[in-house]
Structure 1
Amino acid sequence: MPELLNRSVEQDSSDRSRPARSRTFGSQWEMTLTVTERCLGPVRDIARAHLRCWGMAQAEGVVLLGITELLANVLRHAAVKEARLLVQATVDGVCVTVADFDPRLPTVRVPDPFAETGRGLPLLQALAEGFGVAPSPSGKVVWFRAGCAGEGTGPPAAGSVAELGSGSAVRLAVSPGGSR
């Protein structure tokens, strides 16, 4: 499993964007990538390896669903497909942040029962212990928090500052069931 922690994500050969970059600092993992359909599986594999390494396997289902949903939304809706994924293990759970360069904020709506899409964010909001969206100087940040009752590692604690690139930062001040 350690080899997965440092694994890179292949970008499509037709993609002329920058290659994916990934870094791990203790209980924090970040990846900057151009989102494609092919990258979603490898990103989940790498996230799963980090969660297990940190002793956060209990949060795996919600975290992997949330990462997939937020990156798929970048793929479907953002004008620029580059995103930064940040996953942080805290004392009582996992905080996940996806930042992209599209300033349009997503809205969580009651899905049409006959529609084939539109259920991801409401499902994530229902499963996560916290969920929120905020504009950023370069686009937007969407975050969620998944709990790990009885599991966990120490740092970084909720409220720590995570750099999101280009000098911008977000303070992960989350509360159960709410947004910031």
Structure 2
Amino acid sequence: MPILKVERVISFSSEDEVHTADNILGNNTSRKWKCKTPGEKNAVLFLQLEKASKITGIDIGNEHSAYIEVLVSRSGNDDDYKTLLVMSTFMSAIESRQSTNINRVRMFKKEDLSKPECEEKWDRIKIVCTQPFNRHVKYGLSFIKFHSNEGDKSDILDTNKKLGNFY
């Protein structure tokens, strides 16, 4: 499945001086996005996709968040976000308090996403991270990737192409 290109960061609730929101745009997973101060109620990140697309999968790399939720919208409907991925657990209360498994990665398929939202095209993403169990850490994301099955023709064999002396 092709990975959708995130064009830019539209906005964010806060960002650490080193671990800025723009770090999410790169492919370097060692560059993370974290909230500015420990104990924030939630950390929110707004992203703009390159074009409106159906999202059929999401890969999320955690950075000390207990819960992560993904909402979607279209340009022009800034306040009308719909839930694509319901609030999902990335750390238990015990893991949060002990700061263990802070970089858990979860991959969500189309079956894990909300219906009918996964059947429609979206170009705005709102990510909400929360950490209610440990008020002494900065939290956010280490990476996020969005997948689509649109435009993926690599699995289809073109019978009209000739490869060398073979058909």
TM-score normalized by the length of structure 1: 0.28
Which structure carries more relative contact order (alpha carbon 8 Å, separation 6+)? 2
TM-score normalized by the length of structure 2: 0.30
Higher helix fraction: Structure 1 or Structure 2?
Answer: 1
Rg larger for: 2
